[in-house]
Amino acid sequence: MVVKILQGYFIFATCIMLIYAIRHFLFTCNRLFYRQRVSYRDIYDSDLPRVTVMIPMHNEEAVLHNVLDSLLNCDYDMDKLQIIAINDHSDDRTPEILEEYHSKYPVIQPLHRTEEGERGKPVGLNDALKIATGEVIVVFDADYRPSKNLIKKLASAFMDPKVGAVMGRVIPINDRKNILTALLGLERTGGYQVDQQARYNLNLVPQYGGTVGGFRKSIMLATGGFDTKVLAEDTELTYRIYCKGWSVVYDNSAECYEESPETWDVRGKQIRRWARGHNEVLFTYFFRFLGSPNINFLQKIDGTLLLLVYAVPFILMLSLADCMILYFLGEMNLFAGWWIILFMGIYNTWGNFAPYYEIGAGAFLDGMTTEIFALPHLCFSFFFYMWYITLGFFDAIIDKVTHRNVKWAKTVRFNKEK
Amino acid sequence: MAKTIDTQEKERINYTRDYRHLEKIGLLYMLQMLILLIPLMIVYLCSYTKLTYAVADFSANIISEVTGKATSLVKLDYLPIFGGVYCVNMQGKSPSFTFSIISCMVSLVIILFLSVAKTKNKPLMIFFTIALWIHFASSLYFVLFGRFFPYSLNDYSELYIKQQVMVWLVIMAVYMITTSMIPDMFVYRIGLFMALMILDFLYGVVRYVLYMVIIAEGSYIFMAVLFFIFGIMFDFLLLVAVYSIYIYIAGCKYRNKKRGDMWQWS
């Protein structure tokens, strides 16, 4: 009986991997061979909405000038732009630098959060929502560098009344720094150029990513603002928007440059936090999303697979333990059949985020050449992700069971340019 | 003012790449490649018995020479219609109680060392840590239940060969499917395909000999880690390495005018 259960679990894990492999294969074919769904560039001449840009900051003195200078250089009508720099309990020179910017450029409005109480991105965004004057809210991280026409591209999507949020494309600026940043560059390419674009093409569930994206303020206010107990406020907002009958638009041409983590320790903490937050959303939205009358069948399938994306590495980790037990129980013959080959063949895609052929297609479309040689290293980073995401999964379970408060943590910055 | 993306980074991905794609004819091309692949796979399936005979015969000679132990070839049933496989049969070795204890302790010490070591390449460290935990579990098993170990070296040998036959087949198919997504690269695809299959074949044979020697001389205690961690994952690593060369060539080729004209824009 025990052996049967263990064998059953092994087959279950293999099926999960197979489903993700097929999903990504379809996305890759769609992105490579089919007409692409462009964003709303054709309605540039329309009267674009007033936009509030929010930039949460905690000790960002080293990088904040990049995002602010880029925004000041953008081609959006400054009379329709408000930039709120949220200083969240910084103890470096961030407040002073923001005041300097404010004195020179009144469009930049610092919001100093210094009082005792809750900290973190969602809380800061909620405070900023109270003073925001824009109909559309666009959020950037402090280390991002928006392109000149990014705001215009993002804002124009909201001329469509069905659109609840819009997401742009994130491109690492430091991808030639080391093997980690090179891998992150490739992952971003697969994730945005292929995965997000294909999901948008197919009218599935493109994800709002929390930065380089915007949403309607009215939706956020009507649904109670950001949930301060959730670490992945972006994923939560995506599912909230779909459940309420709105859609998310992906604009592949709305590019923004980010600084990727440059050390594995920092990346490990980041991915663990994402896994924790994403799985919290999974526990909250799994049945709510499936039961929503506002979402079609294919969107439900895609959205559910997207929700499960940070649970799958845990399923894989468990299946490794499962295989070990079967091995010591004398069931090694199971692995001689097709199942193990399928398992390994699918597992060779190294993770359910973006398998190698999806990344390869993205790199090809982006015109990359030597950068692609980092691809085989995905094999080892797969174990790294499996480890940290599993830890994040357990964090989320403990959060759920004990109702403990989540603590927001900032990703370490590496840019020391100014 | 800091440099903006207009003067610095923007040139890296230009606007024309945002929505470009290939013609749908690529799908037809993929289908043609798959049709070509089927006879290739049939030829392989019809000849794997002879192939495994050659591998087993060659390996048996080397293993005998290295270990000084007697080896023999045995034919086992495998896929119906296509036939059986040959593999090497030889006597394995169980670890002693003392060796198992030492192996346990050494694994733990290295795990502890890795957990505090400052390393720049954390993925490799985690990979080796998982490998060491598996080896620790195997060592502990032999300390506690050594006499119940359910396998012989012949079981491992059989499993290895059967798995390797499937891996070669799957790699053949996966390579063809994933590379045929980019059309007009026939010569490079076939050239790299041959290189991949030759390399993977050689790698599979060398690894077979090496692992048989390790288990025959070192004992069954190493079987788990060799099987789970240093097994067929590396065949797929080779596949991805060759695939990345293919994409590199495709990226360069599609920059020139002739292939550049194949891009479509929405």
Q: Of B148, B165, B185, which residue is a domain's last?
A: B148
CB B22 within 8 A of CB B180: no
Supply the pLDDT for residue A145: 84
Same domain, B86 and B99: no
CB A73 within 8 A of CB A149: no
A377 contacts in B (CB within 8 Å)?
123
pLDDT in tens, A190-223: 999 999 999 999 999 999 988 889 999 999 999 8
Beta bridge partners, A172, equal: A258
Same domain, B185 and B75: yes
Shortest Cα–Cα distance, A262 to chain B (Å): 10
Average pLDDT for A273-288: 94
Helix%, strand%, coil% for chain B, nearest 5: 70, 10, 20
CA atoms within 13 A on the CB side of A245: 3
Same domain, B191 and B247: yes
Any domain includes B7: no
**Option in A320, A336, A377 nearest B159 (CB):** A336
Any domain includes B4: no
CB contact under 8 A, B6 and A73: yes
CB contact under 8 A, B227 and A327: yes
pLDDT in tens, A303-344: 999 999 999 989 988 988 888 888 888 887 755 555 565 565
Any domain includes B16: no
Residues in chain B: 266
CA-based nearest residue in chain A for residue B240: A376
Same domain, B116 and B46: no
**Option in A29, A66, A376 nearest B240 (CB):** A376
Look at residue A87 and give its three-state secondary structure: strand
Range of the domain at B128: 95-148
Any domain includes B6: no
Structure tokens at A162: 């069905």
CB A164 within 8 A of CB A219: yes
Same domain, B197 and B176: yes
CA-based nearest residue in chain A for residue B8: A173
Choose between B89 and A18: higher pLDDT: B89
**Option in A65, A379, A418 nearest B233 (CB):** A379
Residues whose CB is less than 8 angstroms from the CB of residue A330 and which lie 6 or more positions away in sequence, other chains included = B150, B151
Supply the pLDDT for residue B245: 96
Supply the pLDDT for residue A135: 94
pLDDT in tens, A178-190: 899 999 999 999 9
Residues whose CB is less than 8 angstroms from the CB of residue A118 and which lie 6 or more positions away in sequence, other chains included = A228
Q: Is A412's pLDDT higher than 80? A: no
CB contact under 8 A, A35 and B243: no
Neighbours of B80 (CB within 10 A): 7
- Report residue A215: phi and psi, to 5°: -150, 165
Q: Is A418's pLDDT higher than 70? A: no
- Report residue A134: phi and psi, to 5°: -80, 150
CB contact under 8 A, B232 and A344: yes
- Report residue A174: phi and psi, to 5°: -110, 35
Structure tokens at A96: 């002073």
Neighbours of B54 (CB within 10 A): 11
Q: Kindly calculate the radius of gyration of chain A based on its CA atoms and give it in whole angstroms.
A: 22
pLDDT in tens, B132-166: 999 999 999 999 998 889 999 999 999 899 989 98
Any idea what DSSP says for residue A160? S
Structure tokens at A86: 């949220």
**Option in B163, B236, B248 nearest A372 (CB):** B248
- Report residue A93: phi and psi, to 5°: -90, 10
Which ranges of chain B have pLDDT less than 70? 1-16, 26, 257-260, 266
Instruction: Using pLDDT thresholds of 50, 70 and 90, give the confidence band for residue A167.
Output: very high
Residue of B4, B25, B34 to mutate, interface with A, max A Cβ within 10 Å = B4
AA identity, residue A223: T
The CATH code for residues A1-418 is 3.90.550.10
Supply the pLDDT for residue B96: 93
Structure tokens at A282: 């999974």
Neighbours of A103 (CB within 10 A): 9
CB B190 within 8 A of CB B232: no
The number of C-beta contacts closer than 8 angstroms across A and B is 198
Supply the pLDDT for residue A84: 95
Same domain, B42 and B66: yes
Instruction: Using pLDDT thresholds of 50, 70 and 90, give the confidence band for residue A28.
Output: very high
Any domain includes B15: no
CB A257 within 8 A of CB A176: no
B246 contacts in A (CB within 8 Å)?
360
What CA–CA distance (Å, rounded) separates A238 from A257? Answer: 22
AA identity, residue B236: F
Choose between B263 and A359: higher pLDDT: A359
Same domain, B55 and B66: yes
What CA–CA distance (Å, rounded) separates A179 from A51? Answer: 38
Instruction: Using pLDDT thresholds of 50, 70 and 90, give the confidence band for residue A415.
Output: low
Same domain, B248 and B207: yes
Same domain, B202 and B118: no
Instruction: Using pLDDT thresholds of 50, 70 and 90, give the confidence band for residue A13.
Output: confident
Same domain, B56 and B156: yes
Supply the pLDDT for residue B8: 47
CB contact under 8 A, B243 and A357: yes
A364 contacts in B (CB within 8 Å)?
182, 247, 250-251, 254
CA B16 to chain centre: 37
A384 contacts in B (CB within 8 Å)?
122-123, 126-127
Choose between A63 and B49: higher pLDDT: B49
CA angle A335, A339, A341 (to 5 degrees): 80
Q: Give burial (CB, 10 Å; 0-12/13-18/19+) of A25.
A: middle
Supply the pLDDT for residue B6: 45
Q: Is A352's pLDDT higher than 70? A: no
Compute the CA torsion angle A259, A135, A292, A227 (nearest 10 deg).
60
Instruction: Using pLDDT thresholds of 50, 70 and 90, give the confidence band for residue A382.
Output: confident
Residues whose CB is less than 8 angstroms from the CB of residue A23 and which lie 6 or more positions away in sequence, other chains included = A302, A305
Any idea which of A39-53, A96-110, B60-74, B128-142 has the lowest mean pLDDT?
A39-53
Shortest Cα–Cα distance, B172 to chain A (Å): 11
Average pLDDT for A253-259: 85
What CA–CA distance (Å, rounded) separates B238 from A242? Answer: 41
Q: What is the pTM of this model?
A: 0.89
Same domain, B117 and B185: no
What CA–CA distance (Å, rounded) separates A91 from A111? Answer: 14
Alpha helices for A189-263 (secondary structure H): 197-201, 217-222, 233-243
CB contact under 8 A, B163 and A341: yes
Average pLDDT for A56-85: 91
Residues whose CB is less than 8 angstroms from the CB of residue B136 and which lie 6 or more positions away in sequence, other chains included = B104, B107, B108, B111
Structure tokens at B6: 């207009």
Structure tokens at A45: 């001449």
Q: Of B109, B128, B148, which residue is a domain's last?
A: B148
Any idea what DSSP says for residue B94? P
Q: Of B105, B129, B148, which residue is a domain's last?
A: B148
B108-116 long-range Cβ contacts below 8 angstroms, 24+ apart? B108/B136, B111/B136
Q: Give the whole-number percent of chain A exceeding pLDDT 70.
A: 91
User: Is the alpha carbon torsion for A13, A19, A22, A23 positive or negative?
Assistant: negative
How far lies A349's CA from each of A24, A379, B233, in Å?
10, 8, 11
Same domain, B33 and B143: no
CA-based nearest residue in chain A for residue B146: A328
